[in-house]
Structure formats: C-alpha cells, structure tokens
Amino acid sequence: MPRPNRALATIIKAARMRYEGNLSQGQIAKSLGVSAATVSRYLAQAVERGLIEVRVVESAYRDLRIERELQSAFGLEEAVVVQTQESSDATLRVLGSAAGRAIVARIAEGAMVGVSNGDSMAALTAEMPRMETLGTDVVTLIGGVGQAEEASHTAEICRQFAQATGGRARVMPLPALLDSEAMLDALRGSEAFRVLNDLYARLDIAVVGIGSLSPESSTVRDGLFSAAQLAQIAREGGVGTICARFVNAQGEAIPVFEDRTISITFEQLRNVPVRVGIALGTEKIPALRAALTGRLVTALATDTETARLLLSEVAADA
C-alpha cells in the first residue's frame, strides 16, 4: 500500500493529536516543531480534505418528553424517539445511531442477541457504535429475504452487528419462506433446527423491525410476499409483520404461511427478556400498536412524527 506524502501525513498526525489526543494547538506546535498558525492551517486542511467528520451526537436529536409519554402509555421499559428530519433517509440515520447506542448499552459481555431484517435494522447496524470487546453471539431471527448482498438482508445485518460488537455471527442459511410445508416438516427433525431453537431459547436481547402491509413495504420490494397477498391478509385482520409472521390488532399471530415460514415465533419472541422494536412511518402505526399491545416488544425506537401519531390514537381511544 502506498504511503501518504509527508505533508498529508503531518496533517493527519496533527488532526489525531488534536481530536484523539485532545492536545491544544500550542502543544501540537511544540511537538511538531512548527508554529501554532501552521497547526491551525493543518487542521483547516484536514476538514477540507474530509479527514475530520464533525457530527452532532444523536442525543441532541432525541425528544425525552415523548419518550417518557410512550413509556407511560404502553408500559415500555425504554423508548428512543428522535426528531423527524428533512428526509426519511436522514431520519433513519439519526434513529439508527440513537437506537444503536441504547442497545449497545444494554448488551452484557457474551450476550446472545437476535436480529431481524429490513431498512430500519440496516440503518441500526450502519450507525451503531463499535464495541468490539463485548464478544456477543448474534443470531438471525428470520431466514433470508431479498438479495444476499443488500444491507437490509438478515445475514448482512447479522454479520454487521457481530462485527460491531466483537462477536460471532450465526446466520440461518435458509430462505424466510420455504416452497412447501413438506420442506419445513423435514427441517423440524434436523439437528440444525434443534440448534436454532436452542439459540432462540437462550437469547438475552432481540432486535426486530416492524413492517406494514403496504404495497410499498420491504416484504413486497424484496419479493417475499406480493401486494395481493398482503391485501388478502389485511382483509383477514392482519395489520403488520414481524420476522415474516403476521400480526393482528391485538398482537396475536395470524396463522398464514405458518407451515412454510422460517423465523422465530411470537411465543419464542415473548420469552426473550429484552425485545426492541425499531420502525418509523405513518403507514406502520397499526403494526406498531399491535406489537405494543401484544407485548411483542419491551422497548421501541422511532421518530417524533410516528410517536405523536401513536400517542394521539391512544388518547382518542381513552
């Protein structure tokens, strides 16, 4: 690998001394044998070249009042609510960072963590802090959905989460939806299926995305279900999905495709001590209410717009 030129190397060194070593410009100047004005110029060049990233910490975007209201309204152990940004992508990034820090704070060394799929989960793993000393075991809670190379694919989310926490990724090498009931019957008797269920029983934390039945949902985009199938399930009382399993307004499972689905069941999910749901968007309000009503999650990460709608619905029903 080619070495950076001397001028660039000095700029990088000055930047690291300032922002990692927390040295003053005068101390850096003395160490490098240059003037304080030169150090100031080095630091300005570091910013111009993109060598320094200045970020507002995610806590500045959190709405603590709405978090408390959500906890009170739904009996949550924790809520993370970030201010809705100018675009959905920007909101997802801020939410991923805030939720990631909250989740990492809950992970004990050697914990068993389960993760699902989806865009919110992808934002979480992309933005979460790196704590490579935790030594986690990270398990996929659902078989593969979409293209394996996509950031929202379960396997990729599992690997990224494991890398961020210095852990081991345990990826389920199967699709979320099998072609027939006979295939699932055959798998149920396998050692791999027994090991998977044993891992689910040992989970300390589960982190799941919560999906809507909208034709624009990621399950339709990724080809797991068709828009027509979701419309039919909605007519049968479905309001959303968690790990490719459908839920009604009371937070109960709807037994559709149950004999073909490879994912954690709602019964298994409720046995996990800490269950974090992450989702945003007005179209997900029915699914979020169902997950909260059915105690499928004990903590929620979302944005202010979604949280306010949830709270207004609760107030209207009171």
pLDDT in tens, 169-210: 999 888 888 888 888 888 888 888 888 899 999 999 999 999
Tokens of 112: 């068993």
| Range scoring the smallest mean pLDDT among 17-26, 55-64, 245-254 | 55-64
CATH number for the domain spanning 14: value is 1.10.10
Q: How many domains does the chain have?
A: 2
Whether residue 36 sits in one domain with residue 100: no
Domain containing 25: what range?
6-48
Q: Express each pLDDT in 199-233 by its tens digit.
A: 999 999 999 999 999 988 888 888 888 899 999 99
Measured over the CA atoms of residue 61, residue 65, residue 69 and residue 75, the dihedral's sign is: positive
Report which of 103, 102, 85 is spatially closest to residue 93, judged by C-alpha positions: 85
Q: Is 78 helix (H, G, I), strand (E, B) or coil?
A: strand
State the Cα–Cα distance between residues 270 and 292, nearest whole angstrom.
12
Model pTM score? 0.80
CB atoms inside a 10 Å sphere around CB 189: 8
Tokens of 164: 């961020």
Whether residue 162 sits in one domain with residue 44: no
